[in-house]
Structure 1
Amino acid sequence: MSSVHNYIAVNNPDIPLLSPEGHSDPRMGVLTDVSSLMASSFNPNELPSGYEARLHDIYLPNATVRTYRGKFAYNVRLVTESGANSEQVGSCLFLDGRMTTMLNGKSKGIVISKGQQNFKYDPNREFSHWGDADTSYHILHFSIDPKYFISFLPQDEPWADDLTNRILRSERIIGDSPAYISLQQHKVIQNLLDCPMSGKMAQILMETSVVQIVLWQLHALFRDTEGRRPARIAQHDHDVANALKEYLTANFLDDHSLASLARHFGVNSNKLMFLFKSVFGTSIFEYISDLKMEYAMRLIREDQKFVTEAARILGYKNPHHFSAAFKKKFGICPSAVK
């Protein structure tokens, strides 16, 4: 650890990882207090009151899942000076926080913020990651064995061939600009972190979730439609879309109109529809419908509600309309759920 330009440099491999030996259940990852690693190099035992930073590591056969939550007590610069981390491909998803990735010798970095993601391969240790103090972070990071990574890339995608060749040549890789975390990824992230299984079954299910999340990420970052990348969305507009998603997730049973949502968020109706679809890949009301149907499934399967009760709770006046929407979502009638 060293202090450079008012930033505390932390060597990533110095942050301890859970040893997989003796842990057949991947959910038995340890929660590590790394507050001391973020302390000042001049006052290593002195931290601001109330400060806490924790890591949770889960080892899978071909990948490591790391979750970081907390605040940096000081400005930090994460570097890879030693260890095996640089040999792995890395996938990073920011559920909260903001950080800048710098390439050695460059003056301009790549900023990744809440709700965004990026991918990197850094075999020559050329990147550093800069984070500011007093910023809340919730980061999900995957370290994946390169051979395994190459094995699950889709062979019919041009970007997959390019990534494979660059890894085999030990060339650095990073997305030119972060992509937004999609709704599909959010669902799989929840499945990954809430996996109810243990042992080998958990390893298979969790590693499958990692593959799904990373493939969605690579598709968003590296595909090139007709030679053009999708138009970038300003950070403020992304924040509006993210705030709308959080609002709908908490209030999906309420009656919503596009006009009322536009007034609530102070955005033109057409722009609000465009932002949500651009960031999350689905419309506002498709998202509300998905939330309702997933809730209906829980009501029927877990709470043992009758179909008519579930329809009433979700605001359907006609149970047949509810059954049709349920079957469209899940492929089965609600009466067939056991």
Structure 2
Amino acid sequence: MTIYGKLLTQEEIIQVAYPVITTDFEGLTESAGLPFKDYVVKNFRIDDKIASDIELSVSENVVLMQFCVDGTFTFKNSDSKKTFSFGNGQCNIIYLPKGNYGITSFLSEINLISVYLSQDFFFRQIQQVNPAFMIKSTNLFQALFSKNISITHRLKNILNEIVNCEFDGHLKILYLKAKVIELLILQLAQHEEEKTISLKPEDIEKMTIIKDLIETNFNEVYSLSYLAKVAGTNEQYLKKHFKILFGNTVFGYMLACKMEKAKEMLSTGKHQITEVSEIVGYKHATHFTTAFKKFFGYLPSLVKRSL
């Protein structure tokens, strides 16, 4: 069983290895001896199918932007027993009063990115962005959104940029702070958009069919007319409702699936760039390289060199 995490702060990136599943972080303010100023970002992964708990203690009131990139889990308050559940590709903003918490129900491989914001930092940003988004009470374990929202590819890209930040010193401080605020803004904007249009269960089912088809056939380029027939609807309906539900256009989602799969394959070190380009549906490696750089902001060769 392998469990590992990455802790990012304004000052530095520290790799942390956890030899056991039950871990007490002894408070965010004391974690790894780092000062908790405005925010702390933690990337936590488990690569085995297990079922156990992770214990977390926070020594001051904080706000958590929780992203479940892969897997499913439940976040619980150890005192009140209240829980919030996250599915694959979901996120929410949760207020954590001082106390003890647990992450439980690991049923699959899991990849969590947790952005802990100080109470003062959160309220400063939230008042500037939208004063209507305020925590009801500062002593309750509560979520800002009544239901989790989807992690769009735009959100996922920002999370990747945070975890893989290559800046040092003051540039890193500015870069990470900007990205954390961008994450907050995008979640608030996405929540507002999803509130204005409510999809029926049958609409969600149709769009999910298309999403699953794209994800399992990432090397294909489907036409809108074909996908509309698969979903049993028309092209305009498909374009509008797919973007509402998943925060991306149909073609944008196709591209994102190709690029994410390509990056995953390159990161293993087992595949050449030309091989990967063919697998994800590109006839010419140069076209793939151009698309990859435009999507991630760096060349695919950088992924291989970083290994």
TM-score interval, smaller chain: 0.5 to 0.7
Query: Quick check: 123-132 or 64-73, which moved more?
Result: 123-132
CA distance in 1, matches of 2:233, 2:155: 26
Alignment of 1:191-206 (within 5 A): 191-206=161-176
**Equivalence for 1:97:** 71
> 5+ residue gaps in structure 2?
24-31, 259-283, 289-293, 295-307
Structure 1 residues 115, 237: closer, same or farther in 2, change over 3 A?
Answer: farther
Corresponding residue for residue 141 of structure 1: 114
Contact 2:96/2:141 (8 A) holds in 1:
yes
Measured against aligned partners, the alpha-carbon deviations of 1:44-95 in whole angstroms (never above 9, x if no partner) come to: xxxxxxxxxxxx9998852111111114664224454x442x5221111111
Q: Contact between 1:71 and 1:137, CA under 8 Å: does it hold in 2?
A: yes
- For residue 29 of structure 1, the aligned residue among 10, 14, 17 is 14
Is the Cα–Cα contact under 8 Å of residues 8 and 14 in structure 2 kept in the other structure?
no
Whether 2:180 is the aligned partner of 1:207: answer no
Which residue pairs with 2:249 in the alignment? 283
User: Which residue does 1:66 correspond to in 2?
Assistant: 42
Could you report, residue by residue, the CA deviation over 1:185-216 in whole angstroms, capped at 9, with x for unpaired residues? Answer: 12322322332322210121112111111222
The two structures have a TM-score, normalised by structure 2, of 0.62
Give the 3 Å change call, closer, same or farther, for CA 285–154 of structure 1 in structure 2: farther
Aligned to 1:258: 224
Q: CA deviation at 1:36?
A: 1.4
Give me the whole-angstrom Cα distance separating, in 1, the residues matched to 2:184 and 2:247. Answer: 17
Instruction: Give the Cα–Cα distance (whole angstroms) in 1 for the partners of residues 86 and 77 of structure 2.
Output: 14
Residue 115 (str. 1) matches residue 89 (str. 2) = yes
8 Å CA contact retained: 2:51, 2:105: yes
Q: 1:178 aligns with which of 145, 148, 167?
A: 148
Look up the match of 1:166: 137
CA distance 1:221–1:291, change in 2 (3 Å): closer
Asked if the contact 1:58/1:64 (under 8 Å) is kept, the reply is no
> Residues of 1 paired with 2:79 and 2:199: CA distance?
28
**One-letter amino acid matched to 2:152:** S
Q: Return the letter of the residue paired with 2:137.
A: R
1:291, 1:113 → 2: CA distance? 19
Secondary structure in 2 aligned to 1:141?
strand
Conserved? CA contact 1:101–1:128, under 8 Å: yes
Alignment gaps of 5+ in structure 1: 1-14, 40-55, 293-309, 315-325, 327-338
User: Does the Cα contact within 8 Å between 1:178 and 1:221 map onto a contact in 2?
Assistant: no
Pick closer, same or farther for the CA change 1:231–1:197 going to 2, 3 Å.
same
Between Structure 1 and Structure 2, whose CA radius of gyration is higher? 1
CA spacing shift, 1:117–1:194, aligned 2, 3 Å: same
Amino acid at match of 2:104: W
- The answer on whether the counterparts of 1:259 and 1:269 sit within 8 Å (CA) in structure 2 is no
SS of residue paired to 1:153? helix
Q: Percent identity?
A: 16
Measured in 1, the distance between the counterparts of 2:213 and 2:148 equals: 20
Size of the aligned set, in residue pairs, is 248
Change (3 A) 1:127 1:210: same
Greater Cα offset, 182-191 or 92-101: 182-191
8 Å Cα contact 1:58/1:65 also seen in 2: no
Shift of 1:34: 1.8
Deviation string 1:265-322 (CA, Å, 9 cap, x unpaired) is x533547545521223343135568999xxxxxxxxxxxxxxxxx9x949xxxxxxxx
- Tell me, in whole angstroms, the C-alpha distance in 1 between the residues paired with 2:125 and 2:132: 13
SS in 2 for 1:159: coil
Deviations 1:104-162 (A, max 9, x none): 798985431111101111215486443234x11011111111111111124462433x2
SS of the residue aligned with 1:200?
helix
Question: What is the alpha-carbon distance in structure 2 between the residues aligned to residue 246 and residue 104 of structure 1?
Answer: 37
| Alignment partner of 1:268 is 2:232 | yes
Q: Is the alpha carbon distance of 1:57 and 1:240 closer, same or farther for their aligned partners in structure 2, counting shifts above 3 Å?
A: farther
Measured in 2, the distance between the counterparts of 1:236 and 1:108 equals 29
> What's the offset of the Cα at 1:236?
6.4
